[in-house]
Amino acid sequence: MSTTLESPPQVSAGAGARQLVVALAGNPNAGKTSLFNALTGLRQKVANYPGVTVERKEGLWALEAEQAPARLVDLPGLYSLDAASIDEEIARDIITGRMAEVPAPDVVVAVVDATNLERNLYLVTQLIEAGSPLVVALSMVDLAERSKLEIDAEQLSTSLGVPVVPVTAKSRRGLEELARAVLEAVGSQPPCALWRLSPKAEAEVRRLYAAGAASREGALRDLYSDELPEEAELREAVESARARLSSSDPQWWQEPLTARYRWIEGVTAGAVRGAKDTRPNSTERIDRFVTHRFFGPVLLLLVMTVVFQAIFSWATLPMDLIDRAFGALGEVVRTQMPAGLLTDLVVDGVIAGVGGVLVFLPQILLLFFFIALLEDSGYMSRAAFLVDRLMRGVGLHGKAFMPLLSSFACAIPGIMATRTIENPKDRLATILIAPFMSCSARLPVYTLMIAAFFTDVRLLGFIPVGVVLMLSMYLLGIVVAIVVAWILKHTILKAPPPPLVLELPPYRVPNFLNVLHTMKNRSWMFVKRAGTVILTISILLWALMTFPRSVVKPVPDAQEGAAVQAMRETGVEGKGEPAPSTAKGEGDTSDESLQLEQSYAGRLGQVIEPAIAPLGFDWKMGIGLVSSFAARETIVSTLSIVYNVGKDAGADSPSLIEAVRNAKRPDGSPAWTPLVAVSMMVFFVLACQCMSTVAVVRRETNSWRWPLFMVAYMLVVAYVASFVTYQGGKLLGLG
């Protein structure tokens, strides 16, 4: 701090020459996000580090007036630099300048929670060792004051050897001082580590330094990190030093950790005053209820019900609106453009595809609104605490609960929500089983099947079979997910049960700016990255159902444009679209129907018929299966076309239900039986018929390997289950 007077001119020169890079580091829950938002405002962007799914957040921070703003890199929240997780590895690489996309930071700002000083300072000791100029931003000072904790920032700064600036992001207190401290720290002598090991270990460190280690810090790293140095002579020295240390103490590796904390205890003892009160604070009082043996689970169920309700039903209104808007847009374009292939491509491929992407936005926004709210308030870790025992039974982390639950509404936001799970294998296992949760897109399929074959059928005279079936489908998905998770965790994703060392942060009033930022960032990432894939597949599927053009029956000009529109969601009414050719007479095949039969998709349906016959499906259902890869509910509109009842019939349309009931095989027997319907439902529970899910898994895992694996294994599971259902049913005489 004493260098204030000499440094400014020099600093301004440096700052003018090139953009300063400042990295923001800190523990999770230390108030880092709030500070980042307060420093950068809306000038921030989110991307991914190449090859990994760790989010990369950057913003511009106006350090001083009339100067180019600095580049502020928000590091992932971390407890340590020892690279136990990808997050920590990336943070370490950025700080040490090993990350290609980000130049080595000129200054690192460490956010330190004043109410949780000792643990937060652990990261600071490591940042000091890393050797970049460092500034500590002391956050939550208002909360510390309220709990009668007095922190002497001057004293803390002296003991740490690093400038300390108290800040409060919400009231923007201390932000200017922080900027000044950062400018002063540019190019200054980096702090050096002041803690010491036992004499024996220090002697080994000195010996390694003599043997060629770059510095004391380098020697420490060589001695205590998992890796060995490359150079042979030094490697040998490290190995023998480790052998000497471990012979006298098997837990020798703990020494730096203990030493850092011992030093921290000394630092805080001098700088913190006020009663270290041991009486229960407000968080503990809230937790008496929130993690209570009985009320805890009840509250969790309540919270989950609200979240589920929101994505399941509140989102339907805006989703319908988006759907209708794109449907209407398609109609307008169709009437304005000359009828023909190009129009079809624009309307059925592009517009339907874009609509198919944007239709997920309400659910994603709502889910991330709740997730951000629950994370920011501190409830999310309590939820993980409550369900961890249950999830561990399956080999999953407590944090997998929320994503899986969300997947009952839609797997897309659910899979995006798995980012809170740190361990990549646990996260992957969660992603791979999420699509088994019966999402809302399966409902139209269930509805149609139940309406056609199980209305008014009752079990024991009073239980509607439809309800039982619906419930069974949900249960089937859950059971299969549990089994698959268990298998995955014991084979390709083999790993010990994920450890749970989870901070239960103090309850805090959520910061709505943070919540809004999370919602905005997630939605934008979905639209940008998953959206392009969804759009591509959408156009591809359109082409499959449109080509080759129907030639058998000359088509009247006016009908030329009315090609298959199976991509369209079922809720859309095709307003003002007279369809004279969709008469429902037996054997009177419409143009749409004919076109579909002769298209590649139709031929594919016929080609796969031998394969799906053992499941009880004929080739018309095969077309439905092919087209439903766009989205599950598409099978309803596809069946409507196949059965000539007009493509816009809904799942509860009487004519479609009638057509399904009356559909015949070539030999005159009914195509559908109750058993076929159940087999179809089972197939829909288990198969991954959702290009959006595939796209989002591709995006979240950064490779095509896992989404393709997911499609393949789910298809196998679905096939086997449907096979067992149909053939088993026939053996029991239910066919």
User: What residues line the site for other proteins (CB under 8 A)?
Assistant: 79-80, 82, 84, 115-116, 118-119, 122, 198, 249, 251, 253-255, 257-258, 261-262, 265, 276, 278, 283-284, 287, 291-294, 296-297, 381, 384-386, 388-390, 392, 499-506
The DSSP 8-state label assigned to residue 4 in this structure reads: G
Least Å distance, CB 312 to other proteins, is: 26
β-bridge pairing 107-113 and 134-139: parallel
3-state helix/strand/coil string of 125-162: HHHHHHCCCEEEEEECHHHHHHCCCEECHHHHHHHHCC
Please say which residue, 40 or 115, places its beta carbon nearer to other proteins. Answer: 115
Ramachandran category for residue 140: left, alpha or beta (phi over 0 → left; psi -120 to 50 → alpha): left
Q: What are phi and psi of 730, to 5 degrees?
A: -65, -40
| H or E element in which residue 72 lies | strand 70-74
Please say which residue, 210 or 298, places its beta carbon nearer to other proteins. Answer: 298
Least Å distance, CB 80 to other proteins, is: 4
Please say which residue, 200 or 661, places its beta carbon nearer to other proteins. Answer: 200
Least Å distance, CB 49 to other proteins, is: 22
Q: Which of 386, 394, 384, 403 is nearest to 298 (CA)?
A: 386
Where are any strands of DSSP class E within 632-734? none
d(CA 363, CA 366): 5
Least Å distance, CB 77 to other proteins, is: 13
From residue 69, give the alpha-carbon distance in Å to each of 19, 40, 66, 179, 549. 7, 10, 9, 11, 58
The DSSP 8-state label assigned to residue 708 in this structure reads: H
Least Å distance, CB 258 to other proteins, is: 5
Least Å distance, CB 392 to other proteins, is: 8
Least Å distance, CB 421 to other proteins, is: 15
β-pair partners for 24: 74, 109
Q: Which of 244, 246, 266, 264 is nearest to 254 (CA)?
A: 246
Least Å distance, CB 722 to other proteins, is: 36
Please say which residue, 54 or 502, places its beta carbon nearer to other proteins. Answer: 502
Q: What are phi and psi of 395, to 5 degrees?
A: 90, 15
Q: Which of 133, 127, 38, 152 is nearest to 75 (CA)?
A: 127
Least Å distance, CB 90 to other proteins, is: 17
The DSSP code sequence of 176-204 is: HHHHHHHHHHTTPPPP-------HHHHHH
Least Å distance, CB 118 to other proteins, is: 5
Please say which residue, 263 or 526, places its beta carbon nearer to other proteins. Answer: 263
In the block, which residue shows the tokens 């042979």? 232
Least Å distance, CB 73 to other proteins, is: 23
Q: How many CA atoms lie within 13 A of 472 on its CB side?
A: 13
β-pair partners for 113: 139
Please say which residue, 252 or 672, places its beta carbon nearer to other proteins. Answer: 252
Least Å distance, CB 422 to other proteins, is: 10
Q: What are phi and psi of 24, to 5 degrees?
A: -110, 115
In the block, which residue shows the tokens 């609104």? 369
Please say which residue, 255 or 348, places its beta carbon nearer to other proteins. Answer: 255
Sign of CA dihedral 580, 583, 588, 589: positive
3-state secondary structure of 61: strand
The DSSP 8-state label assigned to residue 440 in this structure reads: G
Please say which residue, 2 or 278, places its beta carbon nearer to other proteins. Answer: 278
In contact, 229 and 222? CB cutoff 8 Å:
yes
Q: Which of 310, 329, 379 is nearest to 519 (CA)?
A: 310
Please say which residue, 197 or 566, places its beta carbon nearer to other proteins. Answer: 197
Please say which residue, 28 or 510, places its beta carbon nearer to other proteins. Answer: 28
Least Å distance, CB 502 to other proteins, is: 4
Please say which residue, 388 or 597, places its beta carbon nearer to other proteins. Answer: 388
Please say which residue, 502 or 663, places its beta carbon nearer to other proteins. Answer: 502
Please say which residue, 266 or 654, places its beta carbon nearer to other proteins. Answer: 266
